[in-house]
């Protein structure tokens, strides 16, 4: 059974700690109310101090206009809550093609894709994996090594509870798939906009 947030949205299995977690708790309800889902919050020393909020629509799309809309909604909320005691630059971004995987549905959607995964505890004697996502279940997934090693186990089961970070690896196939999905989303959007509204026979 998928874990759900209080608002009924699918909970993330990879979450932040410390200040990033406090900021995530502030911005996530706002994003959900707007029809977006939070992917990641990260404070970095880039350009002085940058607060990056990575988000996407529930269907996985994200446009420049969406980023601007989210920025306009979050800026006043962050000003009021004031979680950061220094001046910072707010950056709203989409997850990108080589995106982080933070929900069970992300792993299911990209089953068969190449992933880099770090675990918080040793799994099969290691904490770093690179391979193809296989056999996604309610509780975890398997990683099949990109380059098999003779005499070693080439498929490792990783529980979601052990995932510290997981990110897709940029490949030609992933780029092609992303372009196909983007084109399909644009066609669907155009079809919806061209549909006559409220007409009856």
Q: Do 134 and 67 share a structural domain?
A: no
Q: Do 36 and 72 share a structural domain?
A: yes
Task: Show which of 62, 93, 124 is a domain's final residue.
Answer: 93
Whether the CB-CB separation of 55 and 37 falls below 8 Å is answered with yes
The answer, yes or no, to whether residue 197 has pLDDT greater than 70, is no
Q: Strand pairing partners for 158?
A: 141
The DSSP secondary-structure symbol of 12 reads P
Tell me: the pLDDT tens digits for 46-58? 778 999 999 999 8
Q: Strand pairing partners for 94?
A: none
Look at residue 152 and tell me if it is in a domain. yes
What is the predicted pLDDT for the residue at 130? 96
The answer, yes or no, to whether residue 18 has pLDDT greater than 60, is yes
d(CA 53, CA 47): 15
What is the predicted pLDDT for the residue at 27? 97
Task: Show which of 93, 118, 146 is a domain's final residue.
Answer: 93
Look at residue 186 and tell me if it is in a domain. no
Tell me: the pLDDT tens digits for 100-143? 999 999 999 999 999 999 999 999 999 999 999 999 999 999 99
d(CA 112, CA 119): 19
d(CA 60, CA 106): 10
| All residues at 6 or more sequence positions from 184 whose CB lies less than 8 Å from its CB, including other chains | none
Q: Which residue is it, tokens 């098999």?
A: 148
Q: Strand pairing partners for 43?
A: 51
Look at residue 130 and tell me if it is in a domain. yes
d(CA 94, CA 54): 5
pTM: 0.85
Give the closest residue to 83 by CA, choosing from 25, 33, 14.
Answer: 25
What is the β-pairing status of strands 140-145 and 50-57? unpaired
Q: Do 109 and 66 share a structural domain?
A: no
- 3-state secondary structure at position 21: helix
More confident residue, 196 or 43: 43
Across the range 182-198, mean pLDDT stands at 74
Domain at 115, CATH number: 2.30.30.100
Q: Do 124 and 87 share a structural domain?
A: no
Task: Please count the CA atoms within 13 angstroms of the CA of 142 that sit on its side-chain side.
Answer: 10
What is the percent of the chain with per-residue pLDDT over 90, rounded to a whole number? 69
More confident residue, 9 or 7: 9
Domain range for residue 72?
18-93
Q: Do 25 and 53 share a structural domain?
A: yes
Q: Do 38 and 77 share a structural domain?
A: yes
Q: Do 26 and 73 share a structural domain?
A: yes
Q: Which residue is it, tokens 């109310």?
A: 33
Task: Show which of 72, 93, 114 is a domain's final residue.
Answer: 93
Q: Do 54 and 112 share a structural domain?
A: no
Number of domains in the chain: 2
More confident residue, 175 or 38: 38
Domain at 84, CATH number: 3.30.300.70
């Amino acid at each position: 059974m998928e874990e759900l947030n209080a608002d009924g949205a699918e909970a993330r299995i990879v979450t932040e700690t410390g200040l990033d977690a406090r900021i995530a708790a502030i911005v996530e309800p706002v994003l959900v109310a707007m029809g977006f889902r939070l992917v990641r919050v990260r404070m970095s020393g880039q350009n002085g101090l940058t607060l990056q909020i990575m988000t996407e629509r529930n269907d996985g799309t994200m446009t420049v206009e969406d980023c601007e809309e989210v920025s306009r909604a979050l800026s006043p909320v962050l000003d009021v809550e004031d979680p950061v005691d220094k001046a910072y630059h707010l950056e709203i971004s989409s997850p990108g093609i080589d995106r982080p995987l933070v929900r069970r549905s992300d792993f299911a959607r990209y089953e068969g894709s190449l992933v880099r995964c770090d675990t918080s505890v040793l799994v099969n004697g290691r904490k770093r994996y690179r391979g193809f996502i296989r056999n996604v279940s309610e509780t975890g997934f398997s990683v099949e090594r990109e380059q098999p090693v003779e005499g070693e186990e080439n498929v490792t089961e990783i529980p979601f509870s052990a995932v510290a970070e997981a990110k897709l690896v940029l490949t030609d196939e992933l780029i092609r798939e992303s372009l196909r999905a983007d084109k399909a989303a644009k066609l669907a959007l155009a079809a919806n906009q061209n549909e006559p509204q409220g007409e009856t026979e």
